Amino acid sequence: MEPPKAPHSMSLKVLRLSRPTLLRQFPLPLPPKSSALSLNPGEALDLKPGEHDDQFILDPVLTLPPAFGSAYVGETFSCTLCANNELSEDDDRHVSTVRIEADMQSPSGTSALELMPADNDSLDPEVKPGGSLQKIVQFDLREEGSHTLAVNVSYSETTVTKDQAASSGRVRTFRKLYQFVARPCLSVRTKVSSAPSADSADHQKYIIEVQLENMADGTITLKKVTFNTKPTFRSASLNWDIAQSNMQHASCPIVAPRDVIQIAFVVDQRTDGPDREATKDGRIMLGQLSIQWWTEMGDSGFLSTGWLTTKRR
């Protein structure tokens, strides 16, 4: 029988980053000595140091389980990787040269993730007992399907005897996987139709109709929707941001789950522009639709469609 393996000196904890956990709070400025006011600078903070609110809906430390549900296409997946030294101060084992590596396995393949902050050396210095090495990873979700965050932690473990003689260190590694599913946040349906032009028969004008449906579980706020045309054309918005041209405030629409919003653009051909680009089957390429939004937690999302074309001639 093989002898049982010694428990690892290091552990890994992954914390999901969100806007509430990164919210900056500033204490009140100290009053001048000549002032008669006595203000506690900590009164401006939600919680005083050392306090914890059990009734708060979000835990201050959002730890990811091995499978944590779903995320949404168009958003940026962010998390903190924490390699914690679980040894006590009087332990005869010593941990050094800790290294964290991570990659994201998506339906299209595996992508190595850049760790932040980046260090000049590939190996990190010693992590003292009770200490933690923390790195932040980010990954833009661009496709639907199952995703797996794979994290590898390697370190050197050295045993120190009572006479302070250190034995040769051994390299230990362990790997953890965190799975989630990327789902669509917005369903986009488009329709292109021709519009009569009063200039000439060769002068083309089109109406782009777009239907957006919120497929997420929470409310989203549409930040900006634009239609980026080919150089042959120019577009004009017929949506809520049209009031901005009159220097008026335009409120962004809020879309509840499964709600649908209609938007539209007018695409006009330039008289001094280059020739129109056409596909092999005779369709004219007009442009791409770009959508930006905020989630109910303040995270931003971005989605760009393929090239929209006219009907086949």
> What confidence category does residue 195 fall into, taking pLDDT thresholds of 50, 70 and 90?
confident
- Give pLDDT, residue 23: 41
pLDDT tens column, 80-134:
888 888 888 888 888 888 889 999 999 999 999 999 887 655 555 678 888 888 8
- Give pLDDT, residue 22: 39
Euclidean distance between CA atoms 223 and 292, whole angstroms? 5
> What confidence category does residue 199 fall into, taking pLDDT thresholds of 50, 70 and 90?
low
Euclidean distance between CA atoms 172 and 5, whole angstroms? 11
Residues 40 and 180 in one domain: yes
| Predicted TM-score (pTM) of this structure | 0.71
3 belongs to a structural domain: no
Task: Quickly list DSSP for 243-276.
Answer: GGGGT---PPPEE-TT-EEEEEEEEEE-SSS-PP
Euclidean distance between CA atoms 203 and 176, whole angstroms? 60
The residues that bridge with 308 in the sheet, in sequence order, are 287
- Give pLDDT, residue 149: 93
Higher pLDDT among residues 6 and 275, named by residue: 275
pLDDT tens column, 74-91:
999 988 888 888 888 888
pLDDT tens column, 149-183:
999 999 888 887 666 665 667 888 989 999 999 99
Euclidean distance between CA atoms 105 and 279, whole angstroms? 34
116 belongs to a structural domain: yes
> What confidence category does residue 18 fall into, taking pLDDT thresholds of 50, 70 and 90?
very low
Residues 45 and 141 in one domain: yes
Residues 174 and 35 in one domain: yes
Residues 15 and 140 in one domain: yes
Domain of residue 250, residue span: 186-309
Whether a cis peptide bond, with omega within 30° of 0, leads into 253 is no
Residues 158 and 218 in one domain: no
CATH number of the domain within which 139 lies: 2.60.40.10
Q: Is residue 222 within 8 Å of residue 237, measured between CB atoms?
A: no
Domain boundary, last residue among 134, 149, 184 = 184
- Give pLDDT, residue 305: 92
- Give pLDDT, residue 248: 46
Domain boundary, last residue among 184, 202, 217 = 184
Q: Return the closest-CA partner of residue 47 out of 57, 39, 56, 38.
A: 56
pLDDT tens column, 224-270:
999 999 888 889 998 887 655 444 445 788 999 999 999 999 998 88
158 belongs to a structural domain: yes
Residues 38 and 180 in one domain: yes
Cβ neighbours for 48, distance < 8 A, ≥ 6 positions apart: 42
86 — phi, psi (to 5°)? -90, 0
Look at the alpha carbons of 49, 55, 60, 66 in this order and tell me if their dihedral is positive or negative: positive
Residues 133 and 241 in one domain: no
Helices and strands of the chain, counted as H and E runs: 0, 17
Domain boundary, last residue among 184, 209, 240 = 184
Task: Quickly list DSSP for 161-225.
Answer: -TTSPBPPPEEEEEEEEEEEEEEESEEEEEEEEEE--SS-SS--EEEEEEEEEE-SSS-EEEEEE
Residues 201 and 124 in one domain: no
Q: Is residue 183 within 8 Å of residue 74, measured between CB atoms?
A: no
**Res. 303: pLDDT tops 90:** yes
For 160, the 3-state DSSP assignment is: strand
Residues 47 and 128 in one domain: yes
pLDDT tens column, 37-88:
555 655 555 555 556 555 554 444 556 777 776 789 999 998 888 888 888 8
What's the number of domains the chain is made of? 2
2 belongs to a structural domain: no
Residues 172 and 23 in one domain: yes
* Long-range CB contacts (within 8 A, 24+) of 89-93: 89/129, 89/130, 91/129, 92/159, 92/160, 92/161, 93/9, 93/157, 93/158, 93/159, 93/160
238 belongs to a structural domain: yes
For 42, the 3-state DSSP assignment is: helix
Residues 237 and 149 in one domain: no
Residues 98 and 126 in one domain: yes
4 belongs to a structural domain: no
CATH number of the domain within which 279 lies: 2.60.40.1230
Euclidean distance between CA atoms 16 and 274, whole angstroms? 48
Q: Is residue 104 within 8 Å of residue 79, measured between CB atoms?
A: no
The residues that bridge with 214 in the sheet, in sequence order, are 186
